[in-house]
Each structure stands twice: as C-alpha cells, then as structure tokens.
A and B are shown apart, each in its own frame.
Chain A
Amino acid sequence: GQQLNQSPQSMFIQEGEDVSMNCTSSSIFNTWLWYKQDPGEGPVLLIALYKAGELTSNGRLTAQFGITRKDSFLNISASIPSDVGIYFCAGGYGGSQGNLIFGKGTKLSVKP
C-alpha cells in the first residue's frame, strides 16, 4: 500500500531548540494533517492544511502544504520537554475516499 516518506525517523532535542520534520509522497494529496501521539494514547491533531502553499501556525508549531501537493513540513520553535512524542504526517485525498495515508512517524526525544 501507499506510504508517505517521513523524516527524520527520530531526533533528539534540547530545550529551546527548533525542530523540523517533513513528509514527501509520490502522489498528490488534497489535505495534509499533522498529528502528535503520546505513549498509550491515540494521535491528536495539531495542524490541518487544505490548500497548496498554505502556511498555518498553532502556537509554536508551523506547518506548510507544499506547492506541488506532494510534501509538507512541520516546524516546532523553542522546543520544551512536553514536545516529546511521536509526530505523524497524514495525507488525504478527499471526495469519496475516506481514509488518510500515514507516515511512519518522527520520534522526538530529549537529549540526555
């Protein structure tokens, strides 16, 4: 089945650092979504993007819907310890197709 290429697979952060992750696809999507998952919980939506080129912020988080509609990135500025978790991108086709395609996730951990 189709999957998104999400990178990096994991990264370590120090409090105050900026973080960047991205997703690419061989297919065009109509929607890009970014989720965060804490251990033992379901994914929680962070940002939803609906138009190519769209740049949207949610507090310290900023995400963009790529112009080609085949990629998206998520930036976290001035990271804090509670940013630790797994971040997933998801692409949606819309219309009669009801599902999202998920990336494999980026695991954010705190530097020892």
Chain B
Amino acid sequence: NAGVTQTPKFRILKIGQSMTLQCTQDMNHNYMYWYRQDPGMGLKLIYYSVGAGITDKGEVPNGYNVSRSTTEDFPLRLELAAPSQTSVYFCASSYSPGYTEAFFGQGTRLTVV
C-alpha cells in the first residue's frame, strides 16, 4: 500500500553541493515524473520518464539530471546546488500519460543556502 515514496523529506544543502532525491513506486507504473513546487506557482515539470531507460526533459530541466534503470525507481540528481533550486520537489507516477491520474509522493523540501 506504499504508492510513491520519496526520500529524504527535508534537506539543507550548501551552494555547490550535490545530492540525489530518491523516488520509488510499487504500482508498476510506466510513467514517472519530477515536479518542483514554488510558493504560489503550482507545479512545474522537471523531467519525466515513459519507461525504464527512457527519460525526457520537462519545462524546467536546467541544473538537474535523472536516470531510470528500473520501472520502480526514478532518482533526481542536483549536481551543483544553487539558491534558485530551493523548492519542494514532488515525484509522481501514472500508468499511462494524460488519460489516467498521476499519484504523488509526499515531497522533499530542499533549501539551498
């Protein structure tokens, strides 16, 4: 009954540090997504994946990288953290794009100082 699980829940990074946000889903969904949510701005797509080994850029991909080696996992990598990457990050998954609902994780709140 886990759904989409994200770790960590909170993290503070210094400028220039790197980190990986983890996301795993147990629903056997093909599609996975990373969104960022800034205050009052809704959610913006960073990267998405339509299946293992396939990823594509979303609306705001700069400063991020992803990989999808398995159906279950879709980690998001920040290489050189910048203050502009302070945000709440949500991972989501869906069985197929658009026509069925996307299920979200609980989010990772990241602060870059």
The tally of residues in A whose CB lies under 8 Å from a CB in B reads: 31
Are B105 and A99 neighbours in the complex by a CB distance under 8 Å?
no
Whether a CB of chain A sits under 8 angstroms from the CB of B84 is no
* CB-defined contacts of B50 to chain A, threshold 8 Å: 96, 98
CB pair A100–B102 under 8 Å, yes or no, is: yes
For residue A43, CB closer than 8 A to chain B, the reply is yes
Residues of the B chain whose Cβ atoms lie less than 8 Å from the Cβ of A4: 42
Query: Which residues 34-60 in A have Cβ within 8 Å of B in the complex?
Result: 35, 40-45, 48, 50
Within the complex, the shortest CB–CB distance from B82 to chain A, in Å, comes to 20
Give A102 to B110 CA distance when docked, in angstroms.
21
A31 to B, closest residue via Cβ: B98
CB of B92, distance to nearest CB on chain A (Å): 8
Given known pairs A42-B90, A98-B56, the reply for A33 and B101 (CB within 8 Å) is yes
Given A41-B106, A98-B56, check contact A30 B44 (CB 8 Å): no
User: Shortest distance in angstroms between A99's beta carbon and chain B's nearest beta carbon?
Assistant: 4
B97 near A94 (CB under 8 angstroms)?
Answer: yes
**Closest chain B residue to A94 by CB distance?**
B98
The answer to whether A98 touches B31 (Cβ under 8 A) is yes
CB–CB B99/A92 < 8 A:
yes
Q: Does A112 contact B (CB under 8 A)?
A: no
Q: Do A41 and B107 touch across chains, with their CB atoms under 8 A apart?
A: yes
Q: Whole-angstrom distance from the CB of A89 to the nearest CB of chain B?
A: 9
Known: A42-B106, A98-B33, A98-B50. A92 touches B98 (CB 8 A): yes
CB proximity of B44 to chain A, nearest CB, Å? 7
A97 touches B40 (CB 8 A): no
Q: In the docked arrangement, what's the CA distance between A102 and B43, Å? A: 6
Minimum CB distance partner of B9 in chain A: A40
Nearest-neighbour CB distance to chain B for A10, whole angstroms, equals: 10
Identify 19 residue pairs between A and B in the complex whose beta-carbon atoms are under 8 Å apart, listed by A's number. A1-B44, A33-B101, A35-B104, A41-B106, A42-B106, A43-B104, A45-B101, A92-B98, A95-B97, A98-B49, A98-B94, A100-B45, A102-B35, A103-B42, A104-B40, A104-B41, A104-B42, A105-B40, A105-B42
